[in-house]
Amino acid sequence: SSQGKNELRFADWMAALPGSIHRTPLTNLAIPGSHDSFSFYIDEASPVGPEQPETVQNFVSVFGTVAKKLMRKWLATQTMNFTSQLGAGIRYFDLRISTKPRDPDNELYFAHGLFSAKVKEGLEEINAFLADHPKEVVFLDFNHFYGMQKYHHEKLVQMLKDTYGNKMCPAIFAHEVSLQYLWEKEHQVLVFYHSPVALEVPFLWPGQMMPAPWANTTDPEKLIQFLQASITERRKKGSFFISQVVLTPKASTVVKGVASGLRETITER
C-alpha cells in the first residue's frame, strides 16, 4: 500500500538521502525530533516527580488518583512509542531522567511530572530499531536530571555503554559529523548530556553542544518570531541546536481547561 511505502521511507530516510548530502555536516540538516519523547506512557500509579512544586504535590495528596488522571492530560506530549516515532522519521529524543522516591530497586525512570518507563527499556527499544536500520542515526538528549547522585550518573553511563557500545560517536567538533563519517565509523548514536559528567566520558557530548532556547508562550505568532530570531543567531555558533516548535500552557491555561488537557487547548493552535 502507499501508506506502507511511506512508513518504509520514513523509517530509512537518512539512508535514502541523495549522495550529495552524505558529507554535509549534520548541523546543517533539519532533523525531526519529539518533545518529552517518552511521555506516550505516564504511570498514573507512580508518585509525583521530585521536580514538581509543592502546590502540585499538595494537589495530588488531596485528590489522589483523580488528580493524576488530570495531570496525565497535561503531561503526555506524545501518543507514539519510541519504535513508532522512529518509524515515522523522528531522530532526536528529548529525555528527562529521575530516580523514584523510596524505590528499593534504585531504578532510573523517564519522568515528566509523573513517572514513565524505565530508562533501560527505552534505550533497548531504540537500539532494536537501529539494529534493523544500520544507516539511521539518533540524537539522545539527556537534558534534565532529577534526584540523581553521582552513582546514578555512573549507572546511566554504564547502561549506555552496555546498550549501544561502539554505536556511540565520541564527542568531536560538530561540523565534522556527517552521515558519511558516521557510516564509515559504524556510529549511530550521539548522546548529549547536560551535566558536568559529560566532561569525564569520551562518548558524551556536552549539553552546550545542543542548546534549546524556550519561547515559553501560548501565542503562535510570538513563537514563530522567537524561532526565526533564534535560528539566525544559533547558526553562527557551530553547534547543533533545537528549534522548540511547541506552545507552553500557562498556569491559567491549565486552570481553565483542567479537564480537557493539552491537546484540546494548545495543539490545534
Q: Which residues are catalytic?
A: 35, 112
Nearest to 35 by CA among 100, 95, 82: 95
Q: Burial letters for 212-250: b for 16+ Cβ neighbours within 10 Å, e otherwise?
A: bbebeebeeeebeebeeebeeebeeeebbbbbbebbebe
Give the pairing type, strands 204-206 and 189-193.
Answer: parallel
Q: Is 147 exposed, middle or buried (0-12, 13-18, 19+ CB in 10 A)?
A: middle
Using CA atoms, how far apart are residues 268 and 216, in angstroms rounded to an integer? Answer: 17
Using CA atoms, how far apart are residues 187 and 245, in angstroms rounded to an integer? Answer: 28
Using CA atoms, how far apart are residues 205 and 88, in angstroms rounded to an integer? Answer: 26
Radius of gyration of the chain from its Cα atoms, rounded to whole angstroms: 19
